[in-house]
Amino acid sequence: MKRRPFLRYTTTTALAATGLGHVPGTVLASPPPLILRAYLPNGDPLPQFELNRLYFLDLNEEPILHPDRTVEDGLLTSQPPPITPFAVALQLPVAGFGDITLYADNQGRGFGPTDFPLVLNGAFARDRLYRVTTTCDRWQHQGYGIPQGIRDRLQRAQAWLTQADQAPDLPTQISLWNNALVEGLWAGEEAALSRARQRIARTPSRQGFKLGCNAFGHPALGIDYDRHFQALFTTATVPFYWQPFEPEPGQLNYAGVDVQVAWLQQAGIAPKGHPLVWFHDISVPGWVRPLPYEQVKAALHQRIIEITRRYGSRIPTYDVINEAHGVPWGNELDYDQEQFLDLTRLACEAAKEGYPAVQRVVNSCCLWARNVAIYGPPQRSPLQYLKACLAAAIDFEIIGLQLYYPDQDMFEIDRMLDRLTALGKPVHITEMAVSSSTGIDENSQLGEARGLWHAPWSEAIQADWVEQVYTLAYSKPEIKAVSWWDLSDQATFWPFGGLLNRENQPKAAYYRLQGLKTAWGINP
């Protein structure tokens, strides 16, 4: 079953100035434009396309709709955001670490128009050091040890920044800022993983923690796929995409799901249904598109009750609604925020009506919500959407999160997971993947591998990413399950994203995850 196409976001803002990253500018009349400059590690201006990914955030880390701007290589000129103070985010190559999203918030104070012109390379280096240092200090106060190697990295980052302050020219500063960023980025990841491992060591084995994957490859991908699936996973996602499941009203195609559910039950693996409500092009039947809103609701109510009632305890958990925070590819019928809340309530209530013991997952993508900065309403971040669901007293059990973000480092992933686990409900990471190779993967739905984390994608780098993300997740008691998407490179959403290769043999990441399962004492 095909997944959605993956949207490549573009965003914009820019940086300008020389010196320390902040150069006093002339205050212009009503309103002064913001001048931002950004450079590659070798000193060349950041190409226009890459600089166009820049966006603004408020100090709660919620993206702000792009103000008017112009972008050229190395230079972005923008009207000020409507919210002040604000922060800046940009995916930027960092030699010695990767191509990663960086954040600047003026050491937590935020920026205002008088802080510009600004060279972002310097701002990112200083604020990364500040963010990691203050986080390490907080964790140490909470009783976590901070290894000396991490403190050494932070000291080296500060030394590079001090040298940059004294550098005679901008090209020298850019190189020194890159050096400071490298130390700050590695220090942040090492600190997040150190805290996670300390938490794991202090707590009993989490017997209820679930390792999952979508089971869409059964039975078509053969016995090796099945054997490796059963050896690793304790939960599995089965497909209920509306269009192929009910291409005409009342014509329900249960056969494929029945085969998968029977296999999973025999293997002792708990199935999860996905998704009962999703308004993507591949999921909305043609017969539904012309219906008025109330008739769509009625059709969904009937669909959800029929599915959940038919399977009962055989499928105890469902993603009852998927990507309902307004992303454009998940809003084929052009619903607004209130309608999405209404549909979320409908999905949750109908699922419980069909099977009273159901576990209902409200599933979201795009956790950092850069799309909100690009497109604006009716989109909102998953955090805003989930808070709205809770404020509306919508009854559901589990928060679902997709984690396809090779442009975020482990420190920022850890911070985002902490923000979302603080909402007070159990969390499932429902989908995630990264590549094991670079280039074009004709068997994938996205085509070309993307992202650069530590080094070009390889089996070893994919295995490192898997080990680190699963370690962060397992260390948080609020996170109850983590699911990969897909198992085999024979048919995968993410390029080279399988844990098995095209011959359905395990990659390094498969064995790394199997080792974590054994070390943590996770039983089927």
- Average pLDDT of 204-219? 95
- The secondary structure of residue 275, as a DSSP letter, is -
Q: What pLDDT score was predicted for residue 523?
A: 77
Determine the Cα–Cα distance for residues 113 and 98; give it in Å rounded to an integer.
30
Check pLDDT > 80 for residue 28. no
CA within 13 Å, CB half, 76: 32
Residues 142 and 181 in one domain: yes
Q: Name the residue with tokens 């396309």.
A: 49
- Indicate whether 11 pLDDT > 60: no
Greatest CA separation for the chain: 74
Question: What was the pLDDT predicted at 31?
Answer: 79
Per residue in 224-242, pLDDT tens? Answer: 999 999 999 999 999 999 9
Same structural domain, 380 and 464: yes
pTM recorded for the entire structure: 0.93
The answer to whether 214 and 237 are in contact (CB under 8 A) is: yes
Residue 207, pLDDT score:
84
Q: Which helix (DSSP H) or strand (DSSP E) does residue 364 occupy? A: strand 359-364
pLDDT for 69 equals 96
pLDDT for 250 = 92
Q: Which of the pair, 170 or 5, is modelled with greater confidence? A: 170
**396 has pLDDT over 90:** yes
pLDDT at residue 297, rounded to an integer: 98
pLDDT above 90 for 30: no
Q: What pLDDT is recorded for position 4?
A: 42
Encode pLDDT of 410-456 as tens digits: 999 999 999 999 999 999 999 999 999 999 999 999 999 999 999 99
Q: Are residues 58 and 108 in the same domain?
A: yes
- Residues in contact with 490: Cβ distance below 8 Å, sequence separation at least 6, in sequence order: 217, 221, 225, 443, 498, 500, 502, 504
Instruction: Say yes or no to pLDDT of 511 above 80.
Output: yes
Find the CATH number of the domain harbouring 445. 3.20.20.80
**pLDDT tier at 172, thresholds 50, 70, 90:** very high
Among candidate residues 202, 225, 240, the one where a domain is terminated: 202
Question: In terms of domains, do 156 and 287 share one?
Answer: no
Same domain, 306 and 193: no
Is a pLDDT exceeding 70 seen at residue 25?
A: no
- Model pLDDT, residue 6: 35
Residue 63 domain boundaries: 1-202
133 shares a domain with 6: yes
Same domain, 400 and 511: yes
Instruction: Quote the number of domains for the chain.
Output: 2
Same domain (yes/no): 321, 459: yes
Q: What percent of the chain is predicted at pLDDT more than 90? A: 91
Rounded to 5°, the CA angle 228-232-233 comes to: 110
52 & 12 share domain: yes
Residue 524: predicted pLDDT: 63
**What pLDDT does residue 405 have?**
82
Residues of the chain above pLDDT 70, percent: 94
- Do 350 and 424 have their domain in common? yes
Please check whether residues 157 and 243 belong to one and the same domain: no
Residue 85 identity: P
Please give the pLDDT value at position 237: 98
Residue 255 to residue 438: CA distance in whole angstroms: 37
Query: How far is residue 313's CA from residue 358's CA, in Å, rounded to a whole number?
Result: 8
- Residue after which a domain boundary falls, among 171, 202, 233: 202
Calculate mean pLDDT across residues 467-471: 98
Q: Are residues 132 and 232 in the same domain?
A: no
Chosen domain end from 173, 202, 231:
202
Mean pLDDT of the chain: 93
Q: Rounded mean pLDDT of 392-410?
A: 96
pLDDT band at residue 68 under the 50/70/90 scheme: very high
